[in-house]
Amino acid sequence: MAELRNIVVLTGAGISAESGIDTFRDAGGLWEKHRVEDVATPQGYERDPALVQRFYDARREAVQKVAPNPAHEALARLDREWEGGLLIVTQNVDDLHERAGASRVVHMHGELLSALCPICERRHHWTGPLIDRPECPSCEARSLRPDVVWFGEMPYQMDRIYAALRSAHLFVSIGTSGAVYPAAGFVSDARELGVKTLELNLERSEGSHWFHESRQGPAGKLVPEWVE
Ligand code: BJW
Q: What is the mean pLDDT of residues 119-125?
A: 98
* CA 99 – CA 176 distance, rounded (Å): 20
Average pLDDT, the chain: 97
- 10 plus 87 within the same structural domain: yes
**Closest protein CA for atom 37 of ligand 1:** 182
Q: Report whether pLDDT(90) > 60.
A: yes
Average pLDDT over residues 172-194: 97
Amino acid making up residue 74? A
pLDDT digits (tens, 9 = 90+) for 129-158: 999 999 999 999 999 999 999 999 999 999
Last residue of a domain, one of 101, 128, 148: 148
- In this structure, the answer to whether residues 164 and 218 fall within a common structural domain is yes
DSSP letter string, 19-76: TT---SSSTT-HHHHS-HHHHSSHHHHHH-HHHHHHHHHHHHHHHTT----HHHHHHH
Q: What is the mean pLDDT of residues 3-24?
A: 95
Q: How large a percentage of the chain has pLDDT more than 70?
A: 99
CATH number at 173 reads 3.40.50.1220
**14 CB under 6 A from ligand 1?**
yes
Which residues are the active-site residues? 109
Query: If pLDDT is split at 50, 70 and 90, which confidence band does 3 have?
Result: confident
Same domain (yes/no): 173, 198: yes
Q: Is the pLDDT of residue 82 over 90?
A: yes
Output the known binding site.
Answer: 12-31, 56, 59, 91-94, 117, 120, 136, 139, 175-177, 201-203, 219
pLDDT band at 107 (very low <50, low <70, confident <90, very high): very high
Number of domains the chain contains? 2
Whether the predicted interface score ipTM is above 0.90:
yes
Quote the pLDDT of residue 4.
Answer: 77
Q: Which of 1-10, 110-119, 120-129 has the lowest mean pLDDT?
A: 1-10
> What is the mean pLDDT of the segment spanning 82-96?
98
Q: Are residues 141 and 122 in the same domain?
A: yes
Q: Which pLDDT band holds residue 122 (cuts at 50, 70, 90)?
A: very high
Spatial contact of 197 and 190, defined as CB atoms under 8 Å apart:
yes
Are 57 and 118 in a shared domain? yes
Cis ω before 182 (30° cut-off from 0): yes
Note whether 8 and 168 are within 8 A (CB): yes
Whole-number pLDDT of residue 2: 54
193 C-alpha vs ligand 1 centroid, how far in Å?
22
Do 105 and 53 have their domain in common? no
What's the pLDDT at 1? Answer: 58
Residues 202, 27 contacting (CB under 8 angstroms)? no
* Mean pLDDT in residue range 49-67: 98
CATH number, domain with residue 137? 3.30.1600.10
Q: Are 166 and 220 contained in the same domain?
A: yes
pLDDT for res 206: 83
Task: Note down the domain range covering 224.
Answer: 1-20+68-109+154-228
Query: Which of 56, 63, 97, 151 has the most ligand 1 atoms within 8 A of CB, as the residue to mutate?
Result: 151
Q: What is the per-residue pLDDT for 149?
A: 98
> Is residue 40 domain-shared with residue 80, that is, in the same domain?
no
